[in-house]
Amino acid sequence: MNFVNIHNKNNGGIMKKVGKVILWILAIIGCLTIIFSIILTSTIAGFVKEKKVKIADNSYLEMNLSGIHRDYNKYRNIPFVKEEISLESICKKLETAKNDKRIQGIILKPGFYQAGWALTKEIRNALLDFKKSEKKIYAYLDIAVDKSYYISASADKIYLNPALSGGILLTGIGSEFSFYKGFFDKLGVKFITLQKGKYKGAAEQLSRKNMSKPLKESIVRVFDVYYDQYLKDIAESRKLPYEKIKYIFENRDKLFINGKDAIKYGLVDELITEEDFYNKLSFGKELNKIKIEDYPEKTATLSANKIAVIYAQGPIVMERSKDFAFSPDYRYIVPKEIVEMLDKSKEDKSVKAIVMRVDSPGGSALASDIIWRKIEEVKQTKPVVVSMGNVAASGGYYISCCANYIVAEPNTITGSIGVIGLFPCWENLRHKLDINTEIIKRGKFSAFLSPNFTPSQENIKYLDDMMEDVYVEFKEKVAKARNLSIMQVEKIAQGRIWSGIDAKQNKLIDELGGLDIAIKKAAELANITAYRTIVMPHKKGIIDFIKENKMISTYSIVNSLFKDSKIVNDLKQTQILMDIMKNEPVLLLMPQIEIN
């Protein structure tokens, strides 16, 4: 009995000690958690906080443009989502610098710049507008290719590294199109395609071994317009005859234009090392310069009147895919999001007009129609102007056509008024792998377009009839919105893509120009002279990003490793197409074209 009592006392003492140890451990963990939270919050605040930079008098705005530039970046100050400065930000900062007495000029270093041709032309136009302030732009090149030289041509003077390993490579306009039918035939997979419009070749890369004549005809015409505009702009900027520029592109002897030949052709003004270039600008003194990324945008005016600029970028889908987290491919046009922004702009009495900035190859027919109906509703109360980016075709044109006014760049791709139907069939693959699939169904259409079986002609006809209805509706909407007859629309429809120049001649758009022209037109239609712009969707920070993106997708890893691979880009577009097709076999989508 006494033994037991002693044992219980000792046991109680041990338990008290263990309890104290546990409490200490919990206290330490709690303190560490609090400290970690403070550090994390401070870190996040550091990322979110805007960088303040002191700008000295007589400073140069330095533009290093290497990398891929997009129209609008949704996220900012997020260390693991690295995106180059957007066109929207570049143009705003150039407008600010134009009137900033502290900025005496621009140092332009395009490097390996990449962006669509329409966006590139907008940057060129913004630089030309900056020069109206009588401030100078000096471009410095180590190596320049087509688009980087095109931007540089707008400078007052172009300097080139004299090294024989440096120079200029001007190749012209081109694009590659890979066709995968042969590959899928070997796998036993077939893509069954239907189209309304003989030029509507959006699915040809999956269903054919080569390009159809109608699709090639429409693409060749677009390329001709792009090429001609490209040469004209360089000739104008460098004050050289068009035929001389054309000779350089088509008849020169050497692929790579070295410094000596660049001087001879009039493409650059002087050969100089980078160090001597900076000394030349500073007259041997310290050169004041500020990176464009660090330069602040103009503070909004105090005007009560606003013009809402709504960015609609990417494929049109009913719902946002979660497969592209931690990737720049967050750019999708989703009806719910666009409708919410349009409603907000409509209900805000201070918003006098809306500019929709559309950059989309199209996608879901249903999603396109939902957005179209909302724009139709909103424009009954305030004007809606569309500004087209690199592309606003098929579904992208569908959502644009009903605007009060449409502005596009000469090298915007638009049109593609047509419909495609696309669905896969892997019945032959099943047979190759000796897979037997049996079907038990109730209801006439319960297994409609199952990929396991070749569809019947009856089922195909059901889809074809639906596509015909959508195509007729598309043409009717264009005819009504653009004040054209159905016969006039039929001639310019058929799924054919058009450059901005041809689209204007065909009355699909109203004016050639960029976002700045569209905003001025919106102000004119709203009958206001003083106004400020608000941009939607609003910029988001790291907290928003974490809430929206919960995981890293396999595609994101592949994309980051092989982002410049043609095959990976083709597979990406195919995956996007498949995502849309999950719920909709009828699409308003243009062919995939990347013009380099």
Residue range 295-332, pLDDT digits in tens: 998 766 778 899 999 999 999 999 876 554 444 467 89
Residue 151 lies in a domain: yes
* pLDDT band, residue 561 (cuts 50/70/90): very low
**Are 494 and 580 in a shared domain?**
yes
Looking at residue 379, what is its pLDDT?
96
Name which residue leads in pLDDT, 7 or 568.
568
Beta bridge partners of 425: 190
How many domains in the chain? Answer: 2
Average pLDDT estimate for 277-293: 89
Distance CA 593, CA 394 (A): 13
DSSP-assigned letters across all residues of 378-433: HTTTS-EEEEEEEEEETHHHHTTTTSSEEEE-TT-EEE---EEEEEEE-HHHHHHT
Looking at residue 12, what is its pLDDT?
46
Looking at residue 76, what is its pLDDT?
76
Looking at residue 75, what is its pLDDT?
79
How far, in Å, are 78, 540, 567 from residue 41 at the CA level? Answer: 14, 16, 41
Looking at residue 53, what is its pLDDT?
77
Looking at residue 39, what is its pLDDT?
46
* pLDDT band, residue 568 (cuts 50/70/90): low
Looking at residue 33, what is its pLDDT?
54
Token pair of 35 as six digits:
């400290």
Looking at residue 29, what is its pLDDT?
60
Looking at residue 196, what is its pLDDT?
94
Residue 32 lies in a domain: no
Residue 331 lies in a domain: yes
Residue 102 lies in a domain: yes
For the cut 90, the answer to whether the pLDDT of residue 593 exceeds it is no
Distance CA 147, CA 154 (A): 12
**Are 314 and 273 in a shared domain?**
no
Looking at residue 8, what is its pLDDT?
43
Distance CA 82, CA 563 (A): 13
Residue 46 lies in a domain: no
- The enclosing domain of 517 has a CATH number of 3.90.226.10
Looking at residue 445, what is its pLDDT?
82
Looking at residue 331, what is its pLDDT?
87
Nearest alpha carbon to residue 464 among 148, 193, 95, 108: 193
Average pLDDT estimate for 63-68: 94
Token pair of 81 as six digits:
């989502």
List pLDDT tens digits, range 507-544.
Answer: 999 999 999 999 999 999 999 999 999 999 988 776 66
**Are 443 and 504 in a shared domain?**
yes
List pLDDT tens digits, range 359-389.
Answer: 999 999 999 999 999 999 999 999 999 999 9
CB atoms within 10 A of CB 413: 32
**Are 263 and 354 in a shared domain?**
no
**Are 323 and 267 in a shared domain?**
no
Please report, rounded to a whole number, the percentage of residues in the chain having pLDDT higher than 90: 67
Nearest alpha carbon to residue 207 among 422, 484, 360: 422
For the cut 50, the answer to whether the pLDDT of residue 552 exceeds it is no
Sign of CA dihedral 455, 457, 458, 459: positive
* pLDDT band, residue 82 (cuts 50/70/90): confident
Token pair of 186 as six digits:
């070997």
Q: Give this prediction's pTM.
A: 0.85
Looking at residue 326, what is its pLDDT?
40
Residue 158 domain boundaries? 59-169+256-291
Nearest alpha carbon to residue 147 among 271, 221, 234: 234
* pLDDT band, residue 447 (cuts 50/70/90): confident
| Boundary-marking domain end, from 268, 291, 314 | 291
For the cut 50, the answer to whether the pLDDT of residue 48 exceeds it is no
**Are 366 and 443 in a shared domain?**
yes
Cβ neighbours of residue 469 closer than 8 Å, sequence gap 6 or more? none
Distance CA 235, CA 551 (A): 49
Helices (H), 160-256: 181-187, 204-207, 213-238, 242-251
Distance CA 104, CA 86 (A): 23
Looking at residue 540, what is its pLDDT?
77
Looking at residue 581, what is its pLDDT?
59
Residue 526 lies in a domain: yes
Which uninterrupted H or E stretch holds 16?
A: helix 2-48
Looking at residue 466, what is its pLDDT?
92
For the cut 90, the answer to whether the pLDDT of residue 180 exceeds it is yes
* pLDDT band, residue 556 (cuts 50/70/90): very low
Q: What is the DSSP letter of 3?
A: H
Residue 231 lies in a domain: no
Q: What is the DSSP letter of 197?
A: S
Looking at residue 441, what is its pLDDT?
85
**Are 423 and 320 in a shared domain?**
yes
How far, in Å, are 44, 405, 424, 539 from residue 543 at the CA level? Answer: 8, 37, 40, 12
Distance CA 529, CA 515 (A): 17
Evaluate whether 592 touches 372 at the Cβ level (below 8 Å). Answer: no
Q: Mean pLDDT of all residues in the chain?
A: 86
Looking at residue 484, what is its pLDDT?
97
Looking at residue 282, what is its pLDDT?
87
Evaluate whether 307 touches 526 at the Cβ level (below 8 Å). Answer: yes
Side-chain half-sphere CA neighbours of 147 within 13 A? 23
**Are 284 and 385 in a shared domain?**
no
**Are 530 and 444 in a shared domain?**
yes
Please report, rounded to a whole number, the percentage of residues in the chain having pLDDT higher than 70: 81
Average pLDDT estimate for 79-108: 91
| Boundary-marking domain end, from 238, 264, 291 | 291
| Boundary-marking domain end, from 238, 266, 291 | 291
**Are 273 and 412 in a shared domain?**
no
Looking at residue 327, what is its pLDDT?
46
139-142 long-range contacts, CB within 8 A, separation 24+? 139/108, 139/109, 139/110, 140/107, 140/108, 140/109, 140/274, 140/277, 141/109, 141/110, 141/166, 141/168, 141/268, 142/111, 142/166, 142/274
Nearest alpha carbon to residue 359 among 571, 67, 175, 88: 88
Looking at residue 47, what is its pLDDT?
47
* pLDDT band, residue 121 (cuts 50/70/90): very high
**Are 325 and 439 in a shared domain?**
yes
Listed range (76-85, 127-136, 164-173, 413-422) with the worst mean pLDDT: 76-85
**Are 334 and 445 in a shared domain?**
yes
Looking at residue 546, what is its pLDDT?
62
* pLDDT band, residue 446 (cuts 50/70/90): confident
Which uninterrupted H or E stretch holds 337?
A: helix 335-347
Residue 524 lies in a domain: yes
Token pair of 490 as six digits:
């039929």
Evaluate whether 316 touches 367 at the Cβ level (below 8 Å). Answer: yes
Looking at residue 9, what is its pLDDT?
42
* pLDDT band, residue 591 (cuts 50/70/90): confident
